[in-house]
Chains A and B, each alone.
Chain A
Amino acid sequence: MLPLLVKDLTELAQRRRLFLLRAAVAVVGALVVGTALRVPDYAKGDLGGTFYLLGRGARVLDTLVYTTCTAILLVVPAFAATAFTSEKERGSLPLLLLTRLSPWRLVLEKWLGQVAFALSLALVLAPLATVAFALGGIEPERLALAGAVVLLSAGWAAAVGLAWSAWSRTSGGAFLATIGWLGSFLAIAVEFDQPFYGYATWAWLMPPVIYSESTTHWTDCAIAAGAIHAALALAWFWLPRRVEVTGRPLLKRWFAWLDQRFNAAERRWFGRTVAVDLPGDRPVAWRAARGRSLANPRYLVRLLLPVAVLSLIAGLVHPMWQAALLGAACLLMAAVAAAQVAGERDGETLDVLLTSGISPRSLVLQKMTALRQLHLGLAVVLLLPAVITWWLGPGAFTHHRSGWEFWVVLVGIGMLPPLAAWGGTLAGLLVPRRGRAVAFAALGLAVWWLGLPFLIVITALATGHDNSTLEIVLSASSPLTIQVANGEGALNQLPLRDWRVVIAVFSVISNLAYLAILRRLALRLAERCLRRA
């Protein structure tokens, strides 16, 4: 008998939203596979016609595997990371540990539940595999690898999520840690996809990367399976030791430690200053930019110093890492914006504010004013590498740089963080709890900004070359995508070089339109969601 597994599966089966989620995954999967089928493979001299589909099963299967793994890696961490923290939050974990279920059994049953859920996502896409079979061209070993990679992706996402869920105190913290670790694994697996010790690569850190390799690495699969065991062992180790987590979370303790160092440095270099700081006529903006808020210039400097160093290293090494840093900055803006709006409701201060005469519109606008300082600070440090490479000229570093990269970076840094902030504000207005609002904002951005570029990757994999101009333009992260693509020299292969200018101009215009729409929507929603009478 597996009581916890039965309970979890029953709960999952009763959630109506999960049916919608599975339906959405099925629709997106069908669209992606359909795209892969429709686009002719010019690289292989395929110019269309009646029989051009024959023998294309392998490509359809590849697309299907990547789509399934992406769906699993995007969705499963959100559920796995809350598996134990939700028990901690409702106080039922100590009760579970007092039963005859051992910690190892608890971890195993929870893991099986998450893997079952992940495979249910894979199952909705499985019928598309028949299309691949019908078209032919699939080697048996490739098929086995596809199954293994999907299974490993499910097991890996569930195991990492459970390990952080066993460690963390809150669901929000566990989710962020899981996403952060999986993101880091992806970055390492992609960047260091080189054999080490002669027989394996770093691809085992992210199973879909194993599938992308030209040769099959069953050794990588075996190591990935071992890594899943290691993550489950960590969950088993942490679970009974972190049932009642007291004290501040690790991140806050780390920040407090840094804070002490900065305070000491400030006292040493600038002396102790006491300033009376009282609000002017915009009290909400005043409060949002003081205390331990990231909009507070004093704290902003503390954030920006490490970001500046990271930005310099990352930006000078490879544009992709600089783009990733910009993405992280956008996520930060969205999270802060969502947290500061939802926080008023969560902290039960919203009612008091609204009866004090501040309108919901003014409340949102004042909050956004405070965020501008954060945006400005981030923009300055993120622009540093672009300024340096622009100043030194093209060819100063190992990677190809074009002369217009600086302007693309400038557009990206100038427009994307405000866009993220307004998106985060929308999430804060729609979702009442702070943690959920932050997660909702992050998820929304990921779907919008990464979902469409994902189409680019899929079609690129399916067609063998980059002809994804339309997808680039559709995504709000176009400048970012262009920057990355240009770093690889991909856009230089476009039939018309002037298209780059068209894309850049179009992305600026479309992002301005997005900004105007989001701002208007947020202000209108503020009146509807915050004002009651």
Chain B
Amino acid sequence: MSDVTIRGLHIRYGKTEAVRGLDLDIPAGAIVGFIGPNGAGKTSTIKCMATLVKPFAGSVRVGGHDVAQDPAAVRRVIGYVPDSFGVYDDLTVREYLHFFAAAQGIPGSRRLRLVDDVLALTDLAAKIDAPVEGLSRGMKQRLSISRVLLHDPALLLLDEPASGLDPHARIELRELLKELQRLGKTIVVSSHILHELAQLCSRIAIIDHGRLVAEGALEDIWRTLGLLRLVLVEVANPGEALSEAARRIPGVESVEPSHERLAIRIHEGGVALEDLHAALVAAGARIRGFQAEAMDMESAFLALTRGATHG
């Protein structure tokens, strides 16, 4: 069953059309990555799901409620985290969460326990009396996620959540989102940094110029586009003979030798990584290092958006 159903969505700001006929289904319990360059329409679509932008045409249904017809009902089932996090610097962590618990209409008797629970989940319990102003960007991000968990929404909308975070904070965020998925939340995450979502999302929606250009599981998009994966192999015995042997392995597109390293490009689905490793060993390679690069999302994205731009 879909948690979010978008049909023929158009969003306009004056004469500018930010989203042009978007159709998308987001299944319950999925983590969906919303990818696109700046100005593609990601934030507009997420804001529309969050009842902050009115659709010019088309419909958006969240949890069975139409965002234009019944925004109050939609707000009860969503949690929205903007890219600026929306925190009040003049409050402490406790006050901030109590403020939003009151804003959500949660009875006072339940708030104390609830605030402790969400802080424990986001690993911020030690900071309960710290001023928000003094928190790091990563902590503010987790505080913002704590806020949206207060009313236990089924759908979390996160606009550019990893923007400006250091690597440590990104890893923490990734783990937190996986934990939230285990708790049954549907999560929509937008980003323009492609490989950042590749490690996290079960589905990807690529949007460009307000149109959806691809949608589905990562591997499916990969196969559809016939894109290549890069494998870096460090060997103790480099040489032309070894490079030639590697080129003859089925599924290998090209091999570029460089000092003690071979850059091998393979077709996704053409050869499994373990089979490639075994074939290289069989060809006499003394392997020191074997590193498969993350999927070349930039290539996928460029291939898709080029089509959309010129098509």
Across the two chains, which residue of chain B brings its CB closest to A348? Answer: B84
Distance in Å from the Cβ of A269 to the closest Cβ of chain B?
Answer: 26
Q: Does A529 contact B (CB under 8 A)?
A: no
Distance in Å from the Cβ of A422 to the closest Cβ of chain B?
Answer: 23
Q: Does A351 contact B (CB under 8 A)?
A: yes
Q: Which residues of B from 106 to 139 have beta carbons under 8 Å from A?
A: 108, 111
Q: Does B72 contact A (CB under 8 A)?
A: yes
Contact at A351–B47, with CB atoms within 8 Å? yes
With A352-B80, A352-B86 given, is the CB distance from A291 to B52 under 8 Å? Answer: no
Q: For chain B, which range describes its interface: under 10, 10 to 19, 20 to 34, or 35 or more residues?
A: 35 or more
Q: Which residues of A from 340 to 369 have beta carbons under 8 Å from B?
A: 347-349, 351-358
Of A279, A292, A354, most B-chain CB atoms within 10 Å:
A279
A347 partner residues in chain B, CB cutoff 8 A = 88
Contact at A279–B52, with CB atoms within 8 Å? no
With A351-B47, A351-B86, A356-B103 given, is the CB distance from A533 to B54 under 8 Å? Answer: yes
Q: Does A286 contact B (CB under 8 A)?
A: yes
Contact at B99–A355, with CB atoms within 8 Å? no
Distance in Å from the Cβ of A349 to the closest Cβ of chain B?
Answer: 5
A349 and B48 alpha carbons, distance in the complex (Å): 17
Across the two chains, which residue of chain A brings its CB closest to B68? Answer: A533
A277 partner residues in chain B, CB cutoff 8 A = 95
Contact at B99–A533, with CB atoms within 8 Å? no
B50 partner residues in chain A, CB cutoff 8 A = 351, 355
Q: Does A247 contact B (CB under 8 A)?
A: no
Q: Does B196 contact A (CB under 8 A)?
A: no
Contact at A532–B53, with CB atoms within 8 Å? yes
B71 partner residues in chain A, CB cutoff 8 A = 533
Contact at A533–B103, with CB atoms within 8 Å? no
B68 partner residues in chain A, CB cutoff 8 A = 533
Contact at B102–A349, with CB atoms within 8 Å? no
Q: Does A251 contact B (CB under 8 A)?
A: no
Q: Does B212 contact A (CB under 8 A)?
A: no
Q: Does A451 contact B (CB under 8 A)?
A: no
Contact at A352–B147, with CB atoms within 8 Å? yes
Of A349, A351, A358, most B-chain CB atoms within 10 Å:
A351
B75 partner residues in chain A, CB cutoff 8 A = 355-357
A367 and B40 alpha carbons, distance in the complex (Å): 36
A292 and B88 alpha carbons, distance in the complex (Å): 13
Contact at A292–B90, with CB atoms within 8 Å? yes
With A532-B51, A532-B53 given, is the CB distance from A352 to B82 under 8 Å? Answer: yes
For chain A, the count of residues having a C-beta within 8 Å of the partner chain is 25
Across the two chains, which residue of chain B brings its CB closest to A356? Answer: B103
A357 partner residues in chain B, CB cutoff 8 A = 72, 75-76, 103-105
Contact at A355–B52, with CB atoms within 8 Å? yes
A468 and B102 alpha carbons, distance in the complex (Å): 53
Q: Which of B54, B90, B100, B105 contacts A532 (CB 8 A)?
A: B54
B104 partner residues in chain A, CB cutoff 8 A = 356-357
A292 and B91 alpha carbons, distance in the complex (Å): 11
Main secondary structure of the interface of B (DSSP, over half): mixed
Distance in Å from the Cβ of A341 to the closest Cβ of chain B?
Answer: 15
Contact at B51–A355, with CB atoms within 8 Å? yes
Contact at B102–A281, with CB atoms within 8 Å? yes
Q: Does A198 contact B (CB under 8 A)?
A: no
Q: Does A283 contact B (CB under 8 A)?
A: yes
Contact at A280–B108, with CB atoms within 8 Å? yes
Q: Does B276 contact A (CB under 8 A)?
A: no
A356 and B99 alpha carbons, distance in the complex (Å): 10
B51 partner residues in chain A, CB cutoff 8 A = 354-355, 532-533
Chain A positions 516 through 532: 1 when the CB is less than 8 Å from some CB of chain B, otherwise 0:
00000000000000001
Across the two chains, which residue of chain B brings its CB closest to A279? Answer: B102
Q: Does B87 contact A (CB under 8 A)?
A: yes
A351 and B47 alpha carbons, distance in the complex (Å): 9
A283 and B150 alpha carbons, distance in the complex (Å): 15
Q: Does B177 contact A (CB under 8 A)?
A: no
A282 partner residues in chain B, CB cutoff 8 A = 102
Q: Which of B48, B67, B82, B103 contacts A283 (CB 8 A)?
A: B103
Distance in Å from the Cβ of B76 to the closest Cβ of chain A?
Answer: 7
A95 partner residues in chain B, CB cutoff 8 A = none
Across the two chains, which residue of chain A brings its CB closest to B67? Answer: A533
Which A-B residue pairs are the 10 nearest by beta carbons? A352-B86, A348-B84, A283-B102, A356-B103, A533-B51, A291-B90, A355-B80, A279-B102, A533-B54, A278-B98
Taking A357-B76, A533-B55 as given, write out 5 further A-B residue pairs in contact, using a Cβ cutoff of 8 Å, ordered by the A residue number: A348-B86, A351-B47, A352-B147, A355-B50, A533-B51
Instruction: Identify 29 residue pairs between A and B in the complex whose beta-carbon atoms are under 8 Å apart, listed by A's number.
Output: A278-B94, A281-B102, A283-B100, A286-B99, A287-B88, A287-B90, A291-B90, A291-B91, A347-B88, A348-B86, A351-B82, A352-B82, A352-B86, A352-B147, A353-B86, A354-B51, A354-B52, A355-B52, A355-B79, A357-B75, A357-B105, A358-B103, A532-B52, A532-B53, A533-B48, A533-B52, A533-B55, A533-B67, A533-B71
Could you list which residues of chain B lie within 8 angstroms of chain A, going by C-beta atoms? 47-48, 50-55, 67-68, 71-72, 75-76, 78-80, 82, 84, 86-88, 90-91, 94-95, 98-100, 102-105, 108, 111, 144, 147
Could you list which residues of chain A lie within 8 angstroms of chain B, going by C-beta atoms? 277-284, 286-287, 291-292, 347-349, 351-358, 532-533
